[in-house]
Amino acid sequence: MATQEFTVQDLKRILREGAGAAEAVDLDGDILDRDFEELGYESLALLETGGRIEREFGIELDDEIFADHRTPRTLVEAVNAQLKAAV
């Protein structure tokens, strides 16, 4: 079975669905290296986002994943690393 990939587009979609978007932030802009907090997502929004990623991709994320990965780029990398490991 091919490894499922978690993309930035997936992340943006899940953020929008689960946590909405702050008016001052353009998620379609250059957000890859911006801090989640700067994008308007605090701990609760990230917990919701993490839960949605887990359900959709059938993985279990570490409790500390958002503490360790504070930007979309590193989060996407971390989730993909976990997806590969899960195969």
Q: Which residues are near other proteins by CB under 8 A?
A: 17-23, 40, 42-45, 47-48, 51, 54-55, 63
Q: Cβ 53 to other proteins, closest distance in Å? A: 11
- C-alpha distances (whole Å) from 12 to each of 7, 21, 64, 84 are 9, 9, 20, 21
Question: Are the C-beta atoms of residues 14 and 56 closer than 8 Å to each other?
Answer: yes
